[in-house]
Amino acid sequence: MAKYIHSMIRVLDEAKSLDFYGRCFGLKVAERLDFESFTLIYLANDESGTELELTVNKGRTEPYNLGDGYGHVAFSVDDVDATHARLIAEGFEPRKLVDFAPGGEVIARFFFIKDPDGYEIEVLQRQGRYK
C-alpha cells in the first residue's frame, strides 16, 4: 500500500516562508538539502508524519505563476477560532471563518490564509473527517 509522505511547493523567499509556516503552523525544518541550483527544505511537526517540502530555486527573482490548477493544502487545528484570532494578532491576514453546512448541519468550520508566495491554505477545526 502507498503512503503519502509530502507535498512540494516552490517558494521565492526562504526566510519569509520558514517564518510563515513556523509561526502559523508550528512547522520546523526536519531536513535541508542544499544543491548547486536549488535547496530542498522539509518541514514537519509532531502532529503528523506528513511533510511540506519547500523548493527554493537559487537565483530566481520573479514570483511563481500559480496558474489555475493549484487548489490548496489543509491543516487541522484543535481550536480554529483561537488559531484565527492568533494569526490576526500576529499580523497575518486570514480570511473570515466559515461554517460549512450544506445540509443544514455544520460539517466543517474553517478559514483560508495565503502564504508569502500566494499559496492557499485551508485551516479546519479538528473534527469529523478533518482529524
Q: Which residues are tagged catalytic?
A: 122
Identify residue 81 by its one-letter amino acid code: D
Pairing of strands 120-125, 108-114: antiparallel
Grid cell 460549512 is found at 100
- Alpha-carbon span 41 to 14, nearest angstrom: 9
